[in-house]
Chains A and B, each alone.
Chain A
Amino acid sequence: MIDDEYFLAALRLASGHDPIPAHVSAAARQAFALRVPHAVTACPAGYNAARGVRGAESPQTVRFVTDALTFDLEVTVGDGLIDVAGQVCPPPGEGCHVDIRTLHLTLTRRLASTGQFAATGLPPGWLSVVCHRPGHAPVQTSWVRVRP
């Protein structure tokens, strides 16, 4: 029965009863500002919730990989906001920074020599990190949804 949704969607679409809200269309159009030209996308390679722990405070670890870089992100949701602690491996070296992006807020952090970075107080929702290295194409993680 997995394809029933498409039939129902087609019926709903044709009925015109539940049109797409204007703010949803507007958000989709605004998302174009998040495009990173020539970026390489790091794909998710693993996902772990803290073992044996459930609840808003338990960190989740997500790994993203490309041929050149690995991103490990530890995401914690508390008080309705997101904290991100991450590491880029191998450490890209001097002069590199990351953009930690949500739909409405981007924070920039210079990478430590260890490749580590952190950001706090981000709004929940879609999240992506972009690593900028002089002389290389930017590398962005795939977008991941983080919710309380």
Chain B
Amino acid sequence: MRTQNATAYRFLTPYLLIFAIFWIWPIISSFIISFQATRTVPWRFAPAFNWGRLIGDPAFYNALKNTLLILVIQVPVMIALAIVMAVLLNSPLLKARGLYRFAFFAPVVVGEVAYSAVFRLMFSLDFGIVNKLLESVGLAKIDWFSNVTPAMALIMIAVTWRWAGYNAIIILAGLQSIPEDVYEAATLDRVSRVKQFFHITLPLLKPVIVFCAVLSIIGTMQLFTEPFLITERGGPGGGTETLGLLLYRQGFRSLNFGYASAVAYTMAGLAIAITLVQLWLMREPK
């Protein structure tokens, strides 16, 4: 046993050092900082300073509201779309499968900055290709950047485009792990394909779908680049400001580390709550 301890830690220590310094310690440190007044030197312990401000801050509620709004609309739409993509890509009837896979999976490799730039240009008011196409079919053009509702819609469209294929890859892997013979019995009993999908496929996919939903919720909760670059720092007038953007502005524009840490820990609290819901959904049936 003694020799295995030494050998094991020789392999483990380099990673554990980095993990402790840049992940575990910051998690603890962030919690401590959120209870400190950080705009005075030296920082002092003031438990209600940041959290008290947070509870009464309209900017916080605005960012929280926008973030939750994006979550409850964008995540379900995207997951549904990803399921449709995965199921159809898995169909034995599909020709030129590689081309379709490329179309849906390609956004996975596109960086946030590159695609934010393209979306910003595509949706611009007078010269954006989207408005030009809307007008060419007789529809009114939309001012995507000056009104809150279209701006929020634009953020959701962009995030959905970027991440639907990513989720489809995971769901497709889940689909392909369902054994064929599950369907054979149903087909012999002349159960329709639609019924097979709802009564066999979806229940078997539940763990994968919940996993994708949790991953997407935690990702969307930290949404930063899209409202930062596409809608210009959360515009119009804070209409697309998210918790991620609030954290950035408080932490790195105003250098108010204590308050920004409180915002960060609010996000952590949400993430923990969502993870607990996941564990509850995935509990073993008694």
A, B from the same assembly: no
Residues on A lying within 8 angstroms of B by beta carbon are none
Q: Which B residues contact A (CB, under 8 angstroms)?
A: none
